[in-house]
Homo-oligomer: A and B are copies of this chain.
Amino acid sequence: MEDRQTGPGKDRADDKADEAKVDLIAVVVAVNDGEPCLLTIGQADTLPSGPFALEHRSPQSGLRGWVEQQTGHPLGYIEQLYTFADRDRVGAERQQRAISISYLALTRKEQATASCACGWHSWYEYFPWEDHRSGTPPVGVDILRARLIEWADAAGDPATQRERRQRVAIAFGFDDRHWNEELTLQRYELLYEAALVEEASGGKATPPPAAVSGKAMVADHRRILATGVTRLRSKIKYRPVVFELMRPTFTLLQLQRTVEALAGRLIDKPNFRRLVEQQELVEETGDTSVDTGGRPAKLYRFRRAVLDERAFAGTKLPLSRA
Q: Interface code A1-22, partner B: CB below 8 Å = 1, 0 otherwise?
A: 1111011110010000111111
Stretch at the interface among A121-129, A130-138, A283-291, A306-314: A306-314
Complex interface: chain B residues within 8 A of A51 (CB): 9, 12, 18
Q: Is the CB of B70 within 8 A of A58?
A: no
**Given A18-B21, A23-B9, A170-B311: A46 and B4 within 8 A (CB)?**
yes
- The stretch of A28-36, A89-97, A246-254, A296-304 that contacts the partner chain: A89-97
Contact A9 B308, beta carbon cutoff 8 Å: no
Interface string of A259-274 (1 = CB under 8 A from B): 0000000000000000
Given A18-B21, A22-B20, A199-B1, also A8-B66 (CB < 8 A): yes
Q: Do A8 and B313 have beta carbons less than 8 Å apart?
A: no
Pick the interface stretch among A80-88, A149-157, A207-215.
A80-88
Q: How far is the CA of A12 from the CA of B12 in the complex (A)?
A: 30
* B-side contacts of A59, CB under 8 Å: 83, 85-86
Assuming A8-B70, A22-B22, A49-B9, is B2 touching A93 (CB within 8 A)?
yes
Residue A41, interface by CB 8 Å: yes
How many chain copies? 2
Instruction: State the CA gap A1–B23 with chains docked (Å).
Output: 19
Smallest beta-carbon distance A226→chain B, Å: 16
Of the residues B9, B46, B87, contact of A56 by C-beta under 8 Å = B87
Is A114 an interface residue when CB atoms closer than 8 A count as contact?
no
Interface contact A46-B7, CB-CB below 8 Å: yes
Interface of chain A residues 39 through 93 with chain B (CB within 8 A): 41-43, 46, 48-54, 56-59, 66, 70, 80, 82-83, 85-87, 90-91, 93
Contacts of A42 in B (CB 8 A): 4, 6-7
Contact between A313 and B70, CB atoms less than 8 A apart: no
Q: Is A180 an interface residue (CB 8 A)?
A: yes
Q: Decide: A167 near B19, CB < 8 A? Known: A3-B93, A9-B25, A56-B87.
A: no
A97:B20 contact, CB within 8 angstroms = no
Chain B: which residue is nearest A314 at the CB level? B320
Alpha-carbon separation in the docked complex, A7 to B217 (Å): 12
In the complex where A22-B22, A82-B80 touch, is A7 in contact with B218 (Cβ < 8 A)? yes
Shortest C-beta distance, A222 to chain B (Å), equals 11
- Nearest B residue to A53 via CB reads B18
Scoring A residues 164 to 205 as 1 if CB is less than 8 Å from chain B, else 0, what string do you get?
001100110000000010110000000000000011000000
Compute how far the CA of A6 lies from the CA of B314 in the bound complex, rounded to whole angstroms. Answer: 44
Q: A8-B49, A20-B22 are in contact. List 13 more A-B contacts (CB 8 A).
A: A1-B218, A2-B90, A4-B46, A8-B41, A17-B53, A19-B21, A22-B99, A54-B97, A83-B83, A170-B311, A180-B313, A182-B313, A314-B320
